[in-house]
Amino acid sequence: MPIFEYRGLNSAGRSVRGTVDTDNVRTAKTRLKKDGIFVTDIKDKGKTAASRKAKGKKAVRQKGVNVTDLSMMTRQLATLLKANIPLVDSLQAVSEQIENAYLAEIIAEIKNAVNEGGTLHKSLGKYPKVFDKMYVSMCEAGEMSGTLDVILIRLAEFKESQTELSAKVKSAMLYPIMMLGFTGLLLGVLFVYVIPKIVTVFESSPELKLPWYTLVVIDISGFLVNYWHVLMISSTVGFLLFRNWKNTPKGRAQWDRIFLQIPVVGKLGRIVAVSRFTRTLSTLLNGGVPMLSAMGIVRNVVDNEVIAAAIDVGRLNISEGESIAGPLKKSGQFPPIVIHMINIGEKTGELENMLLQVSDAYDFQVKTSISGLTSLLEPLMIIVMGCVIGIIVFAIMIPMFQLSSLGG
C-alpha cells in the first residue's frame, strides 16, 4: 500500500507533518480531514524519493537558473509564507516543487542553513550567481520588517516585468538578425559558387566586353574565393580586439557613450536603462532598503557605465544630505520628465510611487518603440536585400544577353 507524506495545519493553526498509508491521495485527504488536519501538501513517498534521485542526477549537468524559474520560485515561496506556513517548511515545499534541479538543490541547502539558525538573506547571499544583490537586500529588509511575504511578491513581479521587457527587446532584434544572416548566406553562395562558374563562360568569349559593374561583381567574387581565409582571420581578430577593449573599464565607458549616440538604437537603449533604474529603485525603496544601499545596487542594473556614473554622483550627493534630482539633471543622461517626477517625489515624500509611474510610462514607450522599429525594419530589410541581389543578378544577366547576341 502506498505511503503518503503530508503537510498541513491542525485545528489550532499549527503546522504539522507526517505520513499516512492508504490506497490513494483522495482517501488520504479524507482520513486526515476527519483527524482535523487541513492538508497543504501531500505526495507519494515512493515517487518523491525517485524524483529526488532524478533531480540529483540532473543537477550535476544543469547549472543554470533563468529568470522565469527564479520568479516562479519566489512567488511560490511568498504564497506559502502568506498562508502562515513556517519558513523552513515553505522552503522544503518549494524545493520539492521546482522543476529546475539546480535551483531545487540550492533551495534545499538554504532550507538546511535556515533550519540551523541562519537568516534567509545570508543563506541566499552564498549563491550570488543565482540571487543578486537586489534580491538579497530585499529579503534582508523583509526579514527585518516582518513583511517577507510582501517583499517576495514584489520581487516576483519585478523579475517578471524585467523578463517581459527583455523578451520584447530580444524579439525585436531577432528578425533583423535572421534577415542579415539569410542575406549573408545567399550572397556567399552567389559570390563563391555561382559567379565563378558564370565567369568561366564569359572567359570563353574573348570578344565579349563586360560592363564596369559586372567587373566589380567579378572582382568581389574573386577576392572572396581567393582570400576568404584572410577575411575570416581579420574579422575574428577585429572582434576579439573589440571585445577585449570593451571589457576594460575605459573601453566600456567609451563604448556605452558611443552606443547612446547611435540613432534609434541609442535612444531605445537609454529608455530601457531609465526604465530599469526607476523600477528597480522603486522596488527597493518600497521593500524598505535604505536609499544609499538602493542606489549602490541600482547602478549595476542599468547596464550602461555612463548612466551608472551619473547614479554614483547622485548617491554621493545623497550621502552629503543633498537631493538626488540635482546631479541626475546635471549629468544630462536622464530625460527632463524623469528629473521632474523625481523632484516632485522627493518634495512630497512619494518618491517610490513617482518612480513606479515613470517606469510604467517608459515600459510602454519601449513596447511602442519596439513595435514601430520592427514594422519599419521588416520592409526596409526586404527592400535592401532585394536591391543587393537585384544588382548582382542584373550585373550577370546583361553580359549573358550580350553573349547570346554574339552567339546568334
In this structure, are residues 358 and 328 in contact, taking their beta carbons and an 8 Å threshold? no
The parent domain of residue 339 ranges over 161-408
Last residue of a domain, one of 136, 158, 180: 158
Which letter does DSSP use for residue 232 in this model? H
Instruction: Classify 348 in phi/psi space as left (phi over 0), alpha (psi -120 to 50) or beta.
Output: alpha
Check whether residue 139 and residue 180 sit in a common domain: no
Alpha-carbon span 42 to 4, nearest angstrom? 7
Last residue of a domain, one of 158, 179, 205: 158
Please tell me the total count of domains within the chain. 2
**Sign of the alpha-carbon torsion through 32, 37, 39, 44:** negative
Last residue of a domain, one of 158, 173, 194: 158
Check whether residue 148 and residue 194 sit in a common domain: no
Angle at 57 between CA 54 and CA 61, to 5 degrees: 130
Alpha-carbon span 209 to 406, nearest angstrom? 11
pTM (predicted TM-score): 0.65
Burial (CB < 10 A; 0-12, 13-18, 19+), residue 138, is buried
Check whether residue 254 and residue 147 sit in a common domain: no
Check whether residue 125 and residue 199 sit in a common domain: no
User: What CATH number does the domain containing 79 carry?
Assistant: 1.20.81.30
- Could you read off the pLDDT tens digit of each residue along the chain, which spans 408 residues? 567 787 777 777 677 777 777 777 777 777 878 878 877 777 776 555 445 445 444 444 445 688 888 888 888 898 888 888 888 888 988 888 888 888 888 998 998 888 888 899 899 989 988 888 878 888 888 888 788 888 888 888 888 877 777 777 777 777 778 888 888 888 888 888 888 888 888 887 777 788 888 889 889 888 888 888 898 999 999 999 999 999 898 999 899 999 988 887 788 888 888 888 888 888 888 878 888 888 888 887 788 888 888 888 888 888 887 778 888 888 888 888 888 888 888 888 888 888 888 888 887 887 787 777 777 777 888 888 888 888 888 888 888 887 777 655
Alpha-carbon span 82 to 273, nearest angstrom? 33
User: What is the separation, in whole angstroms, between the first and last Cα of the chain?
Assistant: 93
Check whether residue 43 and residue 179 sit in a common domain: no
Alpha-carbon span 124 to 109, nearest angstrom? 10
